[in-house]
Structure formats: structure tokens, C-alpha cells
Amino acid sequence: MHIRDRIKELRRIKASQLRPHPKNWRTHGDAQRDALRGVLAEVGYADALLARELPDGSLELIDGHLRAETTPEMEVPVLVVDLDDAEAAKLLALHDPLGAMAGADCDVLAELLRDVETENDAVQQLLGDMLAGPELPLDDGQQRELPPEVDVAEAFQVVVECRDETQQQAVYERMTSEGFKCRLLTL
């Protein structure tokens, strides 16, 4: 298999000059934003953003939108790649999901998380949330017990899709008048 090196260069660019990709599908909540600010404050930039050069010379982000938004006045490291529109869209769609496919050695991760120290509340919360995950052992090395299984009595049900609330009410009334036990659901 022949694999091409698509990285043209590493540049340092003021983050506010980077154009967000118009099809960036990632969203970032407050907890993630706060934790990123904490990591940047405690560690700094240790990874480059990823962008491609457009015909007008500007750079369009493929990866690193939140970092660029978080530090707009800072010169940030950017790997410039030579991707066309279709390749950039493919990488934008697949970059994060590919990383998310990685498995985790829960014991090693738990040990790593216990060794990480931080003064930042948001980073501490993230570390705590990760350590408290159901797949990780507790601090004392004991495995977290799963909740007991719930016994569900055998039941035979029918779900009827109605065109609107009025028809739903009519079907409910008809079925209850015939002695059926019914519940109204709106999905």
C-alpha cells in the first residue's frame, strides 16, 4: 500500500485568521470548553491544528475548531495539508470518529487518571468523570458493581402510530372502553 504524505508545512498563524470549515459538524458544550481552557492554561499547545490552503491563500480548518475559537488572538501551530474539497470533507467527517473507535485498557487508563494532577476545576471534573465511568475500577482497585437486572414481566403490546393528538386520543378512548390497559406516548 502506498501512503502519501499530505502535510505541506507547519505554520504559526493567528487563530482568528483561520476559516472554520463550513461543514464542521462537531459541537462543543461548556464543560468541554472549560476543560480545554484549563488544559491550555496548564499545559499549553501540544498539538497542531489541521488546515488546508484555499485558492485565495487563506487557511480553512479541518481539525482544531474549538482550539482556534478558544485562543483567537494567539499564533497557533497549524499543519497545512494539500487536500482538495472532497478529501477535506472526507477527513473532516472521519478524523474524530476514527479516533473514537480506539479501545481502552481500563486499568492503565485508571492508573493514568489517578496520576494526573490539576489545579483547574473543569479539568478536575473531567478527570473525575472519566475515573467514575462504569468501565473503570474504583480508586481502591475494586470493580464497580453493576446495578441488578430488572425483572420485566412478559407482556404483549401493540404500538399504534397516529397522525395527530386528536386521533391518538380517539384510539386511546376506544381501546380503554374495550377493556385494554393503555398508555399514551408521544415520541
List the chain residues with pLDDT less than 70: 133-152, 186-187
Is 63 within the bounds of a domain?
yes
Q: Which of the 8 DSSP states describes residue 145?
A: P
* CA 96 vs CA 63, 99, 148: distances in Å: 9, 5, 34
Is 143 within the bounds of a domain?
no
Same domain, yes or no: 96 and 14: yes
Is 106 within the bounds of a domain?
no
Cell numbers placing 36: 480545554
Same domain, yes or no: 20 and 96: yes
Per-residue pLDDT at 144: 47
Under 8 Å between Cβ of 32 and 26: no
Q: What domain range includes position 171?
A: 155-187
End-to-end CA distance of the chain: 48
Number of domains in the chain: 2
Under 8 Å between Cβ of 166 and 184: no
Which of 100, 127, 145 is a domain's end point?
100
Which of 100, 116, 131 is a domain's end point?
100
Cα 129 to chain centroid distance, Å, stands at 15
Q: Are strands 59-63 and 7-14 parallel, antiparallel or unpaired?
A: unpaired
* CA 84 vs CA 6, 20, 91, 97: distances in Å: 11, 16, 11, 20
CATH number at residue 85: 3.90.1530.10
What is the three-class DSSP state of 13? Answer: strand
Q: What is the pLDDT of residues 59-86, one digit of tens each?
A: 999 999 999 999 999 999 999 999 999 9
